[in-house]
Amino acid sequence: MIDTRAELGHWIGRLEMILISRGVLREDGELAIQVGSQFPKDLEDALDGFIENPIELLGLLKICQDARDGRPLSPAVLMAAHLMAREVLQALDSQAAGDFRA
């Protein structure tokens, strides 16, 4: 059986690395762009249909970080974050350098 929490913890690390390399996230985990602003065009295109703005991204990152850190999450939230993080990572991974490939 897949350890959803552990897998999500691994994915959030990869997602954070991609977002840092793209200038969307700072090394400390905070957004490098304004919360009310739009993503750079290439990210906006890649995330179209998954994440519409930085505020939504912050929510996903927070849930994933909570999962990685062992904080309590309901099974429904954990599964939804797992699905969403996988889709977002796949969308961004297809544009990222080979270093981010699984």
Report the distance separating Cα 56 and Cα 62, nearest Å.
Answer: 10
Torsion of CA 38, 87, 79, 53, to 10 degrees: 0
Domain spans, the chain: 4-95
C-alpha 53: how far from its chain's center?
A: 12
pLDDT digits (tens, 9 = 90+) for 17-29: 998 988 888 898 8
3 state SS of 70: coil
pTM of the model: 0.79
CA dihedral defined by 1, 85, 13, 99, rounded to 10 degrees? Answer: 100
pLDDT in tens, 46-70: 888 888 888 888 899 999 999 989 9
Place of tokens 């309901």: 74
How many angstroms from the chain centroid is the CA of residue 47?
A: 10
